[in-house]
């Protein structure tokens, strides 16, 4: 590849339903130079996350694909940053990007491998931390159900719940993922939603009802959980991966009867509600990771050119753990 070339994935056509690789185009342009107040960053690890499907629906044709990445500063015209520093920010699906004082965040190397800054110590980990502790408000002895439990968010949710003395039920999409949650992460029970009747299995796994439900998927799984809510339960709506490719919502107001009869609370949530508390949350997560109380798994895809294929696979549940594109050697 010629020097001074930046490769970037752009949106070629807006997907109707599940994206295909033909919806994306690999474009080339000169590597941009930073202006005053900016840093040029070479991406090392790019984070792929399901929420990006919604962003693609409103992205301009020919525009870049939004994502967070961690990389190395190559050139700096921003006070406080120098070449060689490791930073994270919304670089997007490209090999080089410009960040400024509002979007460049230094990565603390003492916390762990730099890839964790966009995983267990980044947006997914913080989503689990604040969504569970601040919105779900679990108490010792509560039964916590987590959908997409082996994923980047769900795996951390369940482990924090276990640290807090809860009984945790994992819902995942394969026997291997269920076994990972139970045998490696220490969840109490696992349900394979592809081979089991979720409602029936929950009746056995949570005979006294579900006190906290951390919802990452929406759709039929969430409807099944609603049938087993305990009195005064709390549900966090964090993600809707089962519905991201649908034109119309699949779930209607029929769940309201369960919320009404159990006096339960359901609340939407995004991690961007807590920017002032990010560093405190990150520090606590790092302590749990170092102590071994929180384990994490990364699903690493080599090669920037494989980004669309990996992202599409994620929407279908192909990934196992935090999905990362390895852009370059550190």
Residue 254: predicted pLDDT? 74
One domain, residues 193 and 155 = yes
Question: Do residue 44 and residue 69 come from a single domain?
Answer: yes
Same domain, 133 and 248: yes
Instruction: Please report the pLDDT score of residue 245 as a whole number.
Output: 47
Give the DSSP per-residue string, 100-120. Answer: ETTT-EE--GGGS-GGGGGTT
Domain CATH for 105: 3.90.180.10
Is the same domain home to 175 and 262?
yes
Residue 237: the pLDDT is 93
* 284 occurs within a structural domain: no
**Claim to verify: residue 211 and residue 111 sit in the same structural domain:** no
Q: Can you tell me the mean pLDDT for 227-241? A: 90
Same domain, yes or no: 66 and 129? no
Q: What is the pLDDT of residue 103?
A: 94
Mean pLDDT value across residues 135-163: 97
Give percent above pLDDT 70 in the chain.
Answer: 95
Distance CA 71, CA 69 (A): 7
DSSP-assigned beta bridge partners for residue 140: none
Query: Is residue 278 domain-resident?
Result: no
pLDDT digits (tens, 9 = 90+) for 84-98: 999 999 999 999 999
Q: Average of pLDDT values for 104-126?
A: 95
Counted domains in the chain? 2
Residue 277 lies in a domain: no
First and final C-alpha spacing in the chain: 19
3-state DSSP assignment of residue 246: coil
pLDDT tens profile 29-69: 999 999 999 999 999 999 999 888 888 888 899 999 999 99
Model pLDDT for residues 151-206, shown as the tens digit of each residue: 999 999 999 999 999 999 999 999 999 999 999 999 999 999 999 999 999 999 99
Q: Are strands 86-89 and 69-76 parallel, antiparallel or unpaired?
A: antiparallel
Looking at residue 249, its pLDDT comes to 58
Q: Is 178 part of any domain?
A: yes
Same domain as 98, residue 44: yes
Tokens of 293: 């109380």
Least confident piece of the model among 18-22, 40-44, 117-121: 18-22
Residue 249 and residue 127 share a domain: yes
Q: What percent of the chain has pLDDT over 90?
A: 82
pTM of the model: 0.92
Please indicate, yes or no, if residue 285 is contained in any of the structural domains. no
Do 50 and 108 reside in the same domain of the chain? Answer: yes
Residue 303 belongs to some domain of the structure: yes
Domain that includes residue 180, residue range: 123-272
Residue 137's domain is classified under what CATH number? 3.40.50.720
Does 149 share its domain with 196? Answer: yes
By the 10 Å C-beta count (0-12 exposed, 13-18 middle, 19+ buried), 256 is classed as exposed
Domain contains 238: yes
Claim to verify: residue 209 and residue 236 sit in the same structural domain: yes
Same domain, 58 and 162: no
pLDDT classification of 251: cutoffs 50, 70, 90 = low
In a domain, 73, yes or no: yes
């Amino acid at each position: 590849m010629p020097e001074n070339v930046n490769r970037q994935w752009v949106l070629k056509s807006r997907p109707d339903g599940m994206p295909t690789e033909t919806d994306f185009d690999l474009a080339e342009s000169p590597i941009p130079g930073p202006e005053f107040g900016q840093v040029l960053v070479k991406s090392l690890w790019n984070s792929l996350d399901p929420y990006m499907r919604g962003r693609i629906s409103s992205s301009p044709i020919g525009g870049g694909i939004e994502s967070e990445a961690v990389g190395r500063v190559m050139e700096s015209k921003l006070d406080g940053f120098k070449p060689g520093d490791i930073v994270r920010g919304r670089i997007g699906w490209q090999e080089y990007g410009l960040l400024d004082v509002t979007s460049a965040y230094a990565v603390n190397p003492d916390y762990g491998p730099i890839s964790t800054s966009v995983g267990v110590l980044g947006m997914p980990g913080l989503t689990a931390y604040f969504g569970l502790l601040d919105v779900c408000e679990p108490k010792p002895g509560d039964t916590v159900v987590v959908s997409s439990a082996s994923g980047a968010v769900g795996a951390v949710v369940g482990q924090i719940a276990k640290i807090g003395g809860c009984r945790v039920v994992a819902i995942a999409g394969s026997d291997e993922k269920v076994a990972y949650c139970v045998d490696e992460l220490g969840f109490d029970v696992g349900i394979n939603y592809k081979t089991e009747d979720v409602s029936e299995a929950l009746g056995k796994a949570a005979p006294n009802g579900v006190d906290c439900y951390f919802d990452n998927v929406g759709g039929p799984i969430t409807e099944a959980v609603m049938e087993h809510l305990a009195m005064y339960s709390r549900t966090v709506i964090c993600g809707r991966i089962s519905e991201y490719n649908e034109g119309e919502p699949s779930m209607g107001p029929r769940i309201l009867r369960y919320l009404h009869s159990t006096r339960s609370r359901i609340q939407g949530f995004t991690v961007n509600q807590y920017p002032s508390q990010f560093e405190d949350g990150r520090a606590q997560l790092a302590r749990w990771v170092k102590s071994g109380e929180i384990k994490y798994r990364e699903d690493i895809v080599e090669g920037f050119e494989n980004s669309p294929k990996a992202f599409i696979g994620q929407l279908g549940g192909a990934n196992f753990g935090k999905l990362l594109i390895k852009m370059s050697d550190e």
